[in-house]
Amino acid sequence: MELTTIKEILLQKVQNNREEIVAAKIKGCLVDLNSRLSENSDIEWVSVSSPEGLEILRHSTSHLMAQAVKELYPEVKITIGPSIEDGFYYDFDYEKTFTAEELLKIEERMNSIVK
């Protein structure tokens, strides 16, 4: 069997709410959508509305924010940024506090990266 990504299968097989899928489970193991299958397997889709899917979204978004901050403010040191029960946060080692305008700039950069 040719190696196929989970995302390719998602695009071929899932018609409804495809944009809600953030990961999959193969034989009970969580895998990302870029993982490749080398054999026929049952796929359990992980939706962003599930607890696991929400955790994945929050974790990924925290990394996205860190990337945007680092691109805009290269002097910032990235510290810790876990997802938490009701969202996520990131601590940055920076000589000043971000202003509301800077936070808007970070959000805009995050949107640009996502596109």
| pLDDT tier for residue 3 given thresholds of 50, 70 and 90 | low
Question: pLDDT of 14-32, one tens digit each?
Answer: 888 888 999 999 989 999 9
DSSP 11-50: HHH--SSGGGEEEEEETTEEE-TT-EESS---EEEEETTS
Mean pLDDT, to the nearest integer, of 81-87?
A: 86
Per the CB < 8 A criterion, the answer to whether 23 and 10 are in contact is: no
Q: How far apart are CA 21 and CA 11, in angstroms?
A: 11
H/E segment holding residue 110: helix 100-114
Mean pLDDT, to the nearest integer, of 60-65?
A: 94
> Lowest mean pLDDT: which of 14-18, 51-55, 72-76, 108-112?
14-18
Structure token digits, residue 14: 């899932």
